Amino acid sequence: MATSVLIIDDSNTMRKIVQRSLRQAGFEFGKILEAGDGQEALSVLAAEQVDLILSDINMPNMDGLEFLRQKAANDDIKDIPVVMITTEAGTDILGEAKALGAKGSIKKPFTADQVQDVLGGLI
């Protein structure tokens, strides 16, 4: 089981909702890290060991797609699985995220069961 997770979302409230949903879905992490956008997430990843990343797509400064591009170009972090958590239902954006390496997506609003379904195969 993964021991650390990074939650990337520009909404502090949404980051707390994701944490609660992870617990409700039965996932226990030794460390839960947070970032408000992709740029902050890259800084966290430079300093911390992370086993799983949950990222929003629409964020200021650096959105989730640009984060995926920069993550893929960094040998130290490129293999960490990323699941997108987003309001985006469009197949174009989610298809682009998948092409950039995202392992799956969870659509907001979501339930603990949906989190379990998507993450269960990854961790």
| CATH label of the domain that carries residue 43 | 3.40.50.2300
CA distance 61 to 25: 31
Q: What predicted TM-score, i.e. pTM, was given to this entire model? A: 0.94
As a whole number, the mean pLDDT across the chain is 94
Specify the residue for token string 């800084």.
43
Instruction: Report how far residue 94's alpha carbon sits from residue 107's, in angstroms, rounded to the nearest whole number.
Output: 10
pLDDT at position 42: 98
Query: pLDDT band at residue 43, thresholds of 50, 70 and 90?
Result: very high
Average pLDDT of span 70-92: 91
Which residue in the block uniquely carries the two structure tokens 């929003």? Answer: 56
pLDDT of residue 57: 95
With residue 99 as reference, give the H or E element that holds it. Answer: helix 91-99
Q: Residue 96 burial by CB count (10 A; 0-12/13-18/19+): exposed, middle or buried?
A: middle
pLDDT band at 53 (very low <50, low <70, confident <90, very high): very high
Domain range spanning residue 13? 4-119
Number of domain units in the chain: 1
pLDDT at residue number 2: 58
